[in-house]
């Protein structure tokens, strides 16, 4: 698989970014991408929310928006994957071009706008899946023109809760107008309450955990509000974070001024600051999925030590290919052993001491 990507990767990167992405998803969906052996290492295993994760490395939402490739993704060595963001109704998203590679920076800017085929299309693909094949989460959002945001999140929870292992309420995308306002204290509390009520009304067994995905652009005061609401509302976990609207000075790619959210290597410092702060503010009481800027085992380990129980990546795969997953897993084992940890759990939040 790694050798194959060395041949195919440069060709894909010559294509328009969105065309390359669509071809990759189609190849995975059709079984044209050979699997990669997952590293079977007890040190990397953990059980969270009643779910068994063979390793802490996941594929972030945004890649497999319509649940077309999750089976193949799990065969690439990931410990879990997350489909979506899915909205109740299909929507085309923002006009193209809307996806830009910053090759020199190993970064991407996107302003996709929750383009997806809608809840029913994703639900049909998730129905009847083999849950023993791996952990699959579902990320839900609102349609651009929907004024009642809560109604859309409730619809997503009701439809996908029976079909997914965990759910993520995404209020962090910068590409849907007004979405990030839902991260404010009062609307966030109301949204979480409604989503929990919708999930609990389904009387499922097991009950899928409900996570909240927040942006890396939150101010310190906003992070404090999110942490307080998350603890008070009884959310099961947090995903920290998403793409950023900020632009680090060191960006050199000619498309760095494009509008949209930035992901990839340049996001790592900001994402880790916010992750560590949220872990401190929640006093380590909520499992956190750390996202943003991971391109190596060292990056993943830094997030774990900052407070992440699980990590997700996406952008780095564009530049390094799927062999990166196995490389990160091996490096994590080496770093855990070097620091004297018997397992991933022992390293979570290690940089904070006893908070």
Give the residue numbers marked as catalytic.
173
Q: Is 2 exposed, middle or buried (0-12, 13-18, 19+ CB in 10 A)?
A: middle
**Beta carbons within 10 angstroms of residue 289's beta carbon:** 27
Burial of 77 (0-12, 13-18, 19+ CB in 10 A): buried
CA–CA separation, 235 vs 195, rounded Å? Answer: 10
Distance separating alpha carbons of residues 187 and 148, to the nearest angstrom: 11
In whole angstroms, how far apart are CA 94 and each of 21, 115, 144?
A: 16, 8, 10
The Cα 172–Cα 170 span in angstroms is 6
Q: Are 54 and 40 in contact (CB under 8 A)?
A: yes
């Amino acid at each position: 698989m790694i050798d194959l990507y060395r041949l195919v990767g440069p060709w894909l990167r010559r294509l328009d970014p969105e065309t390359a992405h669509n071809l990759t998803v189609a190849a995975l969906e059709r079984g044209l991408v050979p699997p990669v052996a997952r590293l079977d290492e007890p040190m990397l295993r953990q059980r969270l929310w009643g779910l068994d994760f063979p390793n802490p490395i996941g594929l972030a939402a945004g890649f497999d928006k319509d649940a077309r490739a999750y089976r193949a993704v799990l065969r690439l060595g990931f410990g879990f994957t997350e489909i979506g963001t899915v909205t109740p109704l299909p929507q085309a998203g923002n006009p193209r071009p809307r996806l830009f590679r910053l090759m020199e920076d190993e970064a991407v800017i996107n302003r996709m706008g929750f383009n997806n085929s809608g809840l029913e299309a994703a639900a049909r693909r998730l129905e009847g899946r083999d849950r023993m094949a791996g952990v699959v989460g579902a990320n839900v959002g609102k349609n651009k023109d929907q004024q009642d945001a809560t109604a859309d999140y409730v619809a997503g929870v009701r439809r996908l809760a029976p079909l997914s292992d965990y759910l993520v309420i995404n209020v962090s995308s910068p590409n849907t107008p007004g979405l990030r306002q839902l991260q404010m204290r009062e609307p966030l509390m109301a949204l979480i309450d409604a989503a929990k009520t919708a999930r609990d009304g389904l009387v499922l067994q097991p009950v899928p955990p409900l996570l909240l995905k927040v942006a890396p652009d939150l101010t310190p005061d906003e992070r404090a509000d999110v942490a307080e609401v998350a603890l008070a509302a009884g959310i099961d976990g947090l995903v920290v974070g998403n793409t950023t609207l900020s632009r680090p000075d060191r960006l050199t790619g000619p498309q760095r001024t494009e509008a949209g959210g930035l992901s990839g290597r340049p996001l790592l410092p900001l994402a880790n600051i916010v992750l560590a702060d949220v872990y401190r503010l929640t006093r380590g009481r909520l499992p956190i999925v750390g996202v943003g800027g991971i391109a190596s085992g060292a990056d993943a380990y830094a997030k774990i030590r900052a407070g992440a129980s699980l990590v997700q990546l996406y952008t780095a795969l564009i530049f390094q290919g799927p062999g990166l997953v196995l490389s990160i897993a091996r490096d994590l084992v080496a770093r855990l052993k070097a620091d004297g940890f018997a397992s991933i759990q022992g390293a979570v939040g290690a940089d904070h001491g006893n908070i």
